Structure 1
Amino acid sequence: MASSVNNNEQRQLLLLPGFMLDQTLWDDMREGLQQLGQLHFGDLGQDDSISAMAARVLRQAPPRFVLIGFSMGGYVAQAIMQQAPERVTALALLNTSARQQDPREIAGNKMQLELARQVPFKGLTSRALASSLHPDLAHDRVLLERLQAMALRNGKEVFIRQLSALRSDGYAELHKIQCPTLIVASSNDQLSSVAESRQMLEQIATARMALVENCGHMTPLEKPQQLLQILSGWLTGIDALPA
């Protein structure tokens, strides 16, 4: 038991949020995560490219860490694996993808950017917020207000920077990942599909995948305890591997 506690005390967990989210994304899991290691939270709000976000996170990160990237944070996590793989002891990719944005998405982002530069920022649209949750939770006022509060705290400039960050095709790079990797997908995720997660799984030799049933995109808010259990079991399994 003592050695397990020591491992947890030494482990550094670096968590990366998604688009227009912040570290309060992890609030419902924070106490449990703190039992798994020391928490660090990456800042994805200061840069307008995925590679620059990754470089900033690395400058502020501990020397070695377990990397946990959610949604857009998963793209940044993949960029970190390209920039400094030797610093990542294990990788968790939550509700994310390595898929490139298609022309329709890029055109839609450009329209949103043009509008955002012209008008005051009032948060994300109700449609955008609802689409990130399981259909049964699309009108859950508590969850919707938590998501909107994060967006408003980030504000207009972060919205513009993050929306400007193009996501390139990362599938060809995934085979280079050699550390223990966990991929988490949710059955009712309307933003990152289970098929995309399985495609990532096929490319990473060291990966395993967990599927969260009856859950939308916002797994840390919708199913925090189940996600915590998945992460805890995965890290315990890594600890049990021979050195």
Structure 2
Amino acid sequence: MAMLLVPGFMLDADLWRDVVPALSEFGPATYADLSQDASIPAMARRALSEAPSKFVLLGFSMGGYVAREIVRHAADRVTALILIATSARGDSDVELNRKAAIAGQAGSAVFKGLSRTAVVSSLHPDNAERVDIVARIQAAGQRLGGDVFRRQSLIDRRDERDDLKTIRCPTLVIAGEQDRLRSRTEALELQQGIAGSDFEIIEHTGHMVPMEAPQRLAAVIGEWLEQQRAGY
């Protein structure tokens, strides 16, 4: 068994730093790079070109859209799918307006780094003072930079709710207890749309589940993967 891990918006492999060691028994980890491409399908194709022949697929937030595209491209290679803090909805009017504003600005000048206010909005209220997490998220933004911010900000996210029924592999949907960026309703839409999928909530977390509660997340994933391996 192997794992392919797909990060979210303005994040990289560091997102999974504290999760992967606890999942080492399920095989080596490969990390998708979402920094090079300007569309979900292109991101999926790049990730597949660098992935093992078969793998467990984990997608976080925007990475959940990429993960589902990977399943559509290569369902025979995905042994199990884990979707974390993500959605199947298309861009809202607010998101479309934000994209239009970014598109109207020249080059990557729009990016001044991820503000503390923006980062804190992705965390559980009790984690707002976790300077370690805030610093990690901001550092990822600085590593990726303005060009990646612009590309990822302008990516189209189509409404996939009617397509979820085509996903046939074992699937686990995970939500943060107080995710203010992706609602519980959105997570349940995924779980209800993917036949036979399972649903778990990671308590005392916001959107950044892999950083806010890596050990609890790894425990939930590990237990579920054990069940799949045992044929339950």
Which TM-score tier does this pair reach, normalised by the shorter chain? over 0.9
Number of matched pairs: 232
Residue 63 of structure 1 is matched in structure 2 by 53
The two structures, once aligned, show a CA RMSD in angstroms of 1.4
- Structure 2 counterparts to residues 44-83 of structure 1, below 5 A: 44-83=34-73
Asked if the contact 1:116/1:156 (under 8 Å) is kept, the reply is no
3-state SS in 2 of match to 1:191: coil
Q: CA deviation at 1:83?
A: 1.4
Residue 194 of structure 1 is matched in structure 2 by 184
Structure 1 distance, partners of 2:126, 2:99, is 27
Establish whether residue 139 from structure 1 lines up as the match of residue 151 from structure 2. no
Q: TM-score, normalised by structure 1?
A: 0.91
Q: CA deviation at 1:86?
A: 1.3
Q: CA deviation at 1:112?
A: 3.1
- Structure 2 counterparts to residues 95-114 of structure 1, below 5 A: 95-114=85-104
Unaligned runs of 5+ in 2: none
Structure 1 distance, partners of 2:106, 2:134, is 21
Greater mean deviation of Cα atoms: 232-241 or 113-122: 113-122
- Structure 2 counterparts to residues 81-100 of structure 1, below 5 A: 81-100=71-90
3-state SS in 2 of match to 1:28: coil
> Going by fraction, where is helix more abundant, 1 or 2?
1
Matching residue's letter, 2:29: L
Structure 2 distance, partners of 1:119, 1:156, is 7
Asked if the contact 2:102/2:110 (under 8 Å) is kept, the reply is no
Residue 43 of structure 1 is matched in structure 2 by 33
Give aligned-pair identity as a percent. 43
Runs of 4+ with >4 A deviation: none
- Cα distance change on mapping 1:94 and 1:131 into 2, 3 Å: same
3-state SS in 2 of match to 1:174: helix
Matching residue's letter, 1:156: G
Establish whether residue 158 from structure 1 lines up as the match of residue 151 from structure 2. no
Q: CA deviation at 1:102?
A: 1.4
Asked if the contact 1:201/1:209 (under 8 Å) is kept, the reply is yes
Matching residue's letter, 1:142: D
Asked if the contact 1:116/1:160 (under 8 Å) is kept, the reply is no
- Please list the CA deviations of residues 144-176 of structure 1 after superposition, one character each: whole Å capped at 9, or x if unmatched: 111000110011111111111110001111111
Structure 1 distance, partners of 2:105, 2:138, is 19
Q: CA deviation at 1:113?
A: 4.2
Q: TM-score, normalised by structure 2?
A: 0.95
Residue 203 of structure 1 is matched in structure 2 by 193
Q: CA deviation at 1:30?
A: 2.6
Residue 8 of structure 1 is matched in structure 2 by none
3-state SS in 1 of match to 2:198: strand
Residue 177 of structure 1 is matched in structure 2 by 167
Unaligned runs of 5+ in 1: 1-10
